[in-house]
């Protein structure tokens, strides 16, 4: 090991100085080795031994497999010196092959699932087609039945039908037809709807119980009545017939017509003084009533209807005296008309 004669840098094993690029004497052809300085002797000092032949250079250590070779020893300059190249990463360790999986073959499972999904989709498609055909055929049957049924058909399985004007068939008048003989149509009353009923009482003469139900309005007995507590102005009574009738006359006994010695029900209860008779088609006929316990009737334009509503417009004050009652009463209804001729 020596030092460069040009820059004094420590020399390596190459033929040039790695610091300044100066050729090293004795390591490069054509470059004479620098003469060794002559030894200076002083008196009493033995002369230096003559120079011996240079020892052989130690051969470079063998490179290991995978090691980075040293850089080439060419003339270099100080500003171009680079560090040693990074060592190559070691090869990845050899991994042993994983043991075979104990799970079922994924491809086979996916194939089975795909086959099952396809089968379900096919069955669903067949069901949808069958349901669609049933609905179409059923709809055609319904439409055919609708065309064949008359406009006054009452009900279907799917619910109540309505006519073009929005009324239910029960409310619709009969189709244009010749009316039959005119007569009392109260026997055709199917239902009477009232705003309420007074509680039962006792007949002071006989001791028998007395009721005031809606059924007394058409029981053909003027000594019974329907009555409700208080002033019934603004309330209504609705009569429904079994079939459409052509009404031509209406009337009522406008109070409690029952009487016996010591008791006058007509004077002791409120009486109805004004009503409006309203038909299915909206026709309304007003009637004013006086203090007369007999039947008070009036003719009306012949009108087909299934329901007849009696709107109570005005009533009298309660009865006077200790026996007076604050009840509105009607003893009997009279409705005359005709049904469709057969």
Mark out the alpha helices in the chain (DSSP H runs).
Answer: 106-148, 265-268
Question: What pLDDT score was predicted for residue 30?
Answer: 52
Res. 36: pLDDT tops 80: no
Residue 84's φ and ψ, nearest 5 degrees, are: -65, 145
**Band (85; pLDDT cuts 50, 70, 90):** low
Structure tokens at 32: 């004479």
Is 89 a residue whose pLDDT tops 70? no
pLDDT tens column, 180-195: 999 999 999 999 999 9
Query: Is residue 255 within 8 Å of residue 329, measured between CB atoms?
Result: yes
The answer to whether the CB of 272 falls within 8 A of the CB of 289 is yes
- Contact residues for 160 (Cβ-Cβ < 8 A; gap 6+): 154, 168, 169
DSSP SS3 for 3:
strand
Do 287 and 277 contact (CB within 8 A), yes or no? Answer: yes
Q: 3-state class of 261 per DSSP? A: coil
Phi, psi of 122 (to 5 degrees): -65, -45
C-alpha to C-alpha distance for 162 and 165, rounded to whole angstroms: 8
Q: Taking all residues of the chain, what is their mean pLDDT, rounded to a whole number?
A: 75
Q: List the single range of 68-72, 84-88, 148-152, 318-322 with lowest mean pLDDT.
A: 148-152
- Return the higher-pLDDT residue of 88 and 200: 200
Measured torsion, CA atoms of residues 127, 128, 134, 138, in degrees rounded to the nearest 10: 150
- Mean pLDDT of the 26-53 span: 49
State yes or no: pLDDT of 214 exceeds 80: yes
Q: Is the separation of the CB atoms in 275 and 286 below 8 Å?
A: yes
How many whole angstroms from its chain centre is CA 136?
Answer: 27
Instruction: List, for residues 154-185, the tens digit of each pLDDT value.
Output: 223 333 334 444 445 454 444 567 899 999 99
Q: How confident is the model over 249-259, as pLDDT tens digits?
A: 999 999 999 99
Mean pLDDT within 96-103: 46
For the cut 90, the answer to whether the pLDDT of residue 141 exceeds it is: no
Mean pLDDT of all residues in 246-271: 96
| pLDDT reading at 43 higher than 50 | no
Predicted local confidence at residue 11, as pLDDT: 78
Angle of CA points 244, 245, 248, to nearest 5°: 150
Coil vs helix vs strand at 330: strand
Per this entry, what is the length of the chain? 342
In contact, 227 and 330? CB cutoff 8 Å: yes
What's the pLDDT at 320? 92
**How does residue 102 score in pLDDT terms, banded at 50, 70 and 90?**
very low
Complete domains list, the chain, with CATH: 1-33+71-82 (no CATH), 169-338 (2.60.120.260)
Confidence at 222, pLDDT banded by 50, 70, 90 = very high
User: Which tops the pLDDT comparison, 11 or 174?
Assistant: 11
């Amino acid at each position: 090991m020596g030092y460069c004669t040009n820059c004094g840098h420590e020399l390596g094993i190459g033929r040039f100085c790695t610091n300044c690029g100066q050729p090293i004497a004795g390591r490069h052809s054509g470059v004479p080795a620098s003469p060794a300085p002559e030894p200076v002797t002083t008196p009493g000092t033995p002369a230096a031994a003559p120079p011996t032949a240079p020892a052989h250079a130690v051969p470079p250590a063998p490179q290991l497999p995978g090691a980075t070779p040293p850089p080439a020893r060419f003339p270099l300059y100080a500003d171009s010196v680079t560090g040693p190249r990074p060592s190559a990463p070691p090869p990845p360790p050899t991994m042993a092959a994983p043991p075979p999986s104990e799970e079922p073959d994924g491809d086979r499972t996916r194939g089975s699932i795909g086959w099952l999904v396809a089968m379900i989709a096919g069955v669903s498609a067949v069901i949808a087609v069958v349901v669609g055909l049933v609905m179409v055929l059923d709809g055609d049957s319904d439409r055919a039945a609708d065309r064949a049924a008359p406009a006054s058909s009452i009900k279907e399985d799917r619910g109540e039908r309505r006519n073009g004007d929005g009324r239910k068939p029960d409310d619709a008048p009969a189709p244009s037809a010749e009316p039959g003989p005119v007569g009392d149509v109260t026997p055709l009353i199917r239902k009477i709807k009232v705003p309420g009923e007074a509680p039962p009482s006792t007949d002071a003469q006989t001791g028998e119980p007395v009721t005031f139900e809606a059924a007394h309005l058409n029981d053909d007995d003027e000594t019974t009545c329907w009555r409700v507590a208080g002033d019934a102005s603004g309330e209504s009574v609705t009569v429904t017939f079994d079939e459409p009738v052509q009404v031509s006359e209406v009337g009522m006994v406008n109070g409690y017509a029952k009487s016996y010695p010591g008791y006058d029900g007509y004077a002791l209860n409120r009486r109805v003084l004004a009503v409006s008779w309203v038909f299915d088609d909206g026709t309304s006929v007003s009637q004013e009533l006086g203090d007369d316990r007999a039947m008070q009737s009036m003719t009306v334009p012949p009108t087909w209807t299934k329901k007849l509503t009696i709107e109570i417009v005005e009533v009298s004050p309660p009865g006077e005296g200790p026996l007076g009652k604050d009840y509105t009463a009607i003893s009997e209804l009279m409705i005359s008309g005709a049904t469709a001729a057969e």
